[in-house]
């Protein structure tokens, strides 16, 4: 495929080849030029910039102790390796109406073309294309349009009554005809999102060994220790922009699924393309297999992973470190690594460790936080007041709960200009042992300690609701049915319009259902959930609930990083994403009680999020794609992959 210096959008961006190494000095020099470039456009805003910088530093405070005081903006020189890739054939630069050649190793023709999902069009090949690519006789004589193919497939998928059957049908389509798969997903996103993502993907992971047909990503196990870079080179695509990686230890609310957690990176990256417009060939799903502690899987004859107890400690971190180093070496400085469904004890450690040396993002900690903050900000129009005037109570103090709490506190601090320690006092968390209070501080994990406030011990959620009197109740416990009738009634007695967010996935783990929330609150609750619920009728009125789904945030967030050539993720970018999402809620949505916009507009939403995130990257001096485009929303839209069939010469 060849190597060289990349100049186009779709590239991770550094020069490739072992002989052409780049040092962190280049990054620092680029970063310096970015800052200089941005300063030209920020004349007269020095004071405002300094103020934002101070707030930005505060916003990293929760992870800074784990980073020995290091900031994302410092651009740590700790991890410096060479790397980079190039789109040799210029597909990224081609517009939709330009002819392209279906290159693989050579020009794909005949039987091989029909079996290449990237270029296969099924019965949509024109007469001219059938002659040019030796397809005569290999297809029936009819020529079908992509729209007719889509209509037929949606009809077939709707015949299945079992969600897992729909999931398998969609995965088979992805392996057969990539563009048709994404066309279906883009055009029918509200219907198919629960199929390719939560809640169905959870069941798919549980049964992944049984439904496994062909690998859809890279499996890096302890057997590959010392050879991870070689394994990455086995992947056929070189121009990788986004990697979603899991170790399978905490899949949704289902626990340790080991190697079978691969369904999550595959599903997430399908959404990166469908909802965020990142090219499918630029996406790489990865599962790190260090074993599993799930006895059922270890005894399952169809289990596809290592049959051993989960590795921990130095052995675990050595493999992860080799992986992170190899990723940067193979794909360059600007490849986004999204950590997905890691257990709490590893998730915070990895985010803190690599946040200053790599472009990393943890969807469970940061993505969830961003989408929930957006919902809360949007809900203020319905429940009244400003964000700092509200009091929050969380059930669940893991990576999702503490991540959401921290981002809400950061936004409060931004609005009030008060220290983040003051903002945190308006947020209370309940874990399995009751309310987190200062008397428990010595026994708490490090990520819970900032939330240990002065208060008498409280043992139950119901008691906490009664004594704390929160205006907002957020569930991230992973335990179903924990927002009981008594809890919802207590919230309603304290508030005219209680905001209740039951975020745990899948549906079986939701803290309460939409129907329960509306009935127990007598129709007064503003409700949103992690998994989708059907509209509810109560006393003649229909209530439509929103879905606080990370799919609102991470595809647009990732696109924003790609189009700006960002080299680090800063907390201010998460706030920018939340702000952009909240602004997409229309007056009509509010009238229906919704605090999230419909998914039918998701590509427009993603473009706006990407633009806001990119703008913040330029402002912070973390963007490397210069000069900065004038209209970032239009630029984001122009960069988005569209799954319409291409015409072949």
Tens-place pLDDT, residues 397-413: 998 999 999 999 999 99
Worst-scoring range by mean pLDDT, 92-96, 112-116, 547-551, 643-647? 92-96
- CATH T-level assignment (fold) for domain 366-548: Rossmann fold (3.40.50)
Q: Which residues pair with 218 in a beta bridge?
A: 286
What pLDDT sits at residue 254? 87
Tens-place pLDDT, residues 29-66: 444 444 444 444 444 444 444 444 444 545 576 777 77
Tokens of 634: 């239009």
- Mean pLDDT of all residues in 192-212: 91
At residue 417 the predicted structure's pLDDT band, cuts being 50, 70 and 90, is very high
CB 249 within 8 A of CB 343: yes
Worst-scoring range by mean pLDDT, 62-71, 165-174, 498-507? 62-71
Tens-place pLDDT, residues 473-530: 999 998 999 999 999 999 999 999 999 999 998 888 899 999 999 999 999 999 999 8
Instruction: Tell me if 341 is assigned to a ligand binding site.
Output: yes
Q: What is the mean pLDDT of the chain?
A: 88
Instruction: Tell me if 321 is assigned to a ligand binding site.
Output: no
- Mean pLDDT of all residues in 227-240: 94
- Helices 163-176 and 146-159 sit at what angle, rounded to 10 degrees? 150
Left (φ > 0), alpha (ψ -120 to 50) or beta: where does 386 sit?
A: beta
Per-residue pLDDT for 345 more than 70? yes
Contacts of 135 (CB under 8 A, 6+ apart): 109, 110, 113, 114, 125, 129
- Tell which residue, 467, 516, 506, 513, has the closest CA to residue 490: 467
Tens-place pLDDT, residues 576-629: 999 999 999 999 999 988 999 998 899 999 999 999 999 999 999 999 998 999
What pLDDT sits at residue 531? 83
Tens-place pLDDT, residues 516-569: 999 999 999 999 998 889 999 999 999 999 899 999 999 999 999 999 999 999
What pLDDT sits at residue 9? 37
What pLDDT sits at residue 27? 41
Tell me the pTM: 0.85
Tell me the CATH class for 112-196: mainly alpha
CB 319 within 8 A of CB 288: yes
What pLDDT sits at residue 26? 38
Q: How far is CA 258 from CA 219, 254, 294, 310, 342, in A?
A: 11, 11, 8, 8, 11
**Where are the domains positioned within the chain?**
112-196, 199-362, 366-548, 552-580+597-639
- CA dist 631 and 622 (Å) reads 18
Instruction: Tell me if 97 is assigned to a ligand binding site.
Output: no
Supply the DSSP string of 340-380, one letter for each residue. -S--HHHHHHHHHHHTTTS-EEEIIIIIHHHHHHHHHHHHH
Instruction: Tell me if 549 is assigned to a ligand binding site.
Output: yes
What pLDDT sits at residue 328? 94
Identify the CATH assignment for 199-362 out of 3.40.50.10380, 1.10.10.10, 3.40.50.720, 3.30.530.20: 3.40.50.10380
- Mean pLDDT of all residues in 403-427: 96
Instruction: Tell me if 340 is assigned to a ligand binding site.
Output: yes
Tens-place pLDDT, residues 126-137: 999 999 999 999
Instruction: Tell me if 250 is assigned to a ligand binding site.
Output: yes
What pLDDT sits at residue 16? 35
At residue 643 the predicted structure's pLDDT band, cuts being 50, 70 and 90, is very high
Are 112-196 and 199-362 the same fold in CATH?
no
DSSP 8-state code for residue 531: S
At residue 451 the predicted structure's pLDDT band, cuts being 50, 70 and 90, is very high
Q: How far is CA 189 from the centre of its chain?
A: 16
Per-residue pLDDT for 1 more than 50? no
Tokens of 120: 């296969």
Residues with a catalytic annotation lie at 197, 268
């Amino acid at each position: 495929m060849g190597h060289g210096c990349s100049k186009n959008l779709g590239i991770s961006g550094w020069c490739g080849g072992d002989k052409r190494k780049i040092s962190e000095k280049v990054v620092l020099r680029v970063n310096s030029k970015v800052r200089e470039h941005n300063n030209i456009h920020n004349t007269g805003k020095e004071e405002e910039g300094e103020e934002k910088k101070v707030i930005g530093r505060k916003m990293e405070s929760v992870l800074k102790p784990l980073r020995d005081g290091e900031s994302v903006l410092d651009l740590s020189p700790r991890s410096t390796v060479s790397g980079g890739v190039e789109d040799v054939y210029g597909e990224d630069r081609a517009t939709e109406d330009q002819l392209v050649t279906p290159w693989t190793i050579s020009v794909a023709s005949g039987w091989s073309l029909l079996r290449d999902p990237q270029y296969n069009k099924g019965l949509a090949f024109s007469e001219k294309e059938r002659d040019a690519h030796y397809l005569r006789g290999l297809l029936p004589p009819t020529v079908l349009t992509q729209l007719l193919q889509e209509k037929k497939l949606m009809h077939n998928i709707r015949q299945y009554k079992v969600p897992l059957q729909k999931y398998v049908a969609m995965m088979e389509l992805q392996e057969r005809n990539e563009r048709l798969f994404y066309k279906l997903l883009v055009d029918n996103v509200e219907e198919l999102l629960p199929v390719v993502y939560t809640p169905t993907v959870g069941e798919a992971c549980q049964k992944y060994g049984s439904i496994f047909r062909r690998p859809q990503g890279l499996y890096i196990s302890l057997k590959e220790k010392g050879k991870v870079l070689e394994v990455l080179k086995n992947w056929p695509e070189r121009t990788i922009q986004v990697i979603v990686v899991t170790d399978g230890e905490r899949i949704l609310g289902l626990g340790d699924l080991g190697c079978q957690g691969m369904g999550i990176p595959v599903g997430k990256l399908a959404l990166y393309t469908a909802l965020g417009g990142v090219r499918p060939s630029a996406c790489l799903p990865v599962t790190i297999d260090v074993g599993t502690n799930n006895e059922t899987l270890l005894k399952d004859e169809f289990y596809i992973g290592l049959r051993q107890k989960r590795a921990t400690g130095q052995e675990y971190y050595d493999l992860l470190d080799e992986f992170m180093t190899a990723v940067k070496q193979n794909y360059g400085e600007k490849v986004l690594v999204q950590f997905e469904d890691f257990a709490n004890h590893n998730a915070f450690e990895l985010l803190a460790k690599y946040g200053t040396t790599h472009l990393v993002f943890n969807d469970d900690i940061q993505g969830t936080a961003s989408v929930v903050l957006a919902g809360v900000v949007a809900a203020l129009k319905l429940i009244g007041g400003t964000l700092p005037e509200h009091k929050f109570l969380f059930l669940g103090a893991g990576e999702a709960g503490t991540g959401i709490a921290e981002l809400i506190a950061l936004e409060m601090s931004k609005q009030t200009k008060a220290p983040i320690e003051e903002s945190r006092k308006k947020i209370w968390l309940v874990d399995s042992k009751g309310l987190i209070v200062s008397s428990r501080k010595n026994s708490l994990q490090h990520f819970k300690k900032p939330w240990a406030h002065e208060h008498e011990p409280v043992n139950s959620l119901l008691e906490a609701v009664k004594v704390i009197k929160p205006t907002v109740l957020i569930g991230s416990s992973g335990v179903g049915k924990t927002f009981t009738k008594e809890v919802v009634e207590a919230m309603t007695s304290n508030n005219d319009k209680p905001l209740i967010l039951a975020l745990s996935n899948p549906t079986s783990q939701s803290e309460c259902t939409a129907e329960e929330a509306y009935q127990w609150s007598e129709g007064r609750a503003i409700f949103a959930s992690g998994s989708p619920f059907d509209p509810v009728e109560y006393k003649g009125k229909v209530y439509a609930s929103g879905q606080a789904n990370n799919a609102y945030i991470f595809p647009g967030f990732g696109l924003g990083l790609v189009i700006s050539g960002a080299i680090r993720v800063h907390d201010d970018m998460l706030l920018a994403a939340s702000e952009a999402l909240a602004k997409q809620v229309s007056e009509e949505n509010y009238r229906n009680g919704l605090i999230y916009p419909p998914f039918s507009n998701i590509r427009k939403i993603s473009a706006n999020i990407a633009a806001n995130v990119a703008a913040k990257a330029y402002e912070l001096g973390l963007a490397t794609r210069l000069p900065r485009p004038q209209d970032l929303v239009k630029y984001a839209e122009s960069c988005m992959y569209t799954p319409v069939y291409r015409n072949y010469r």
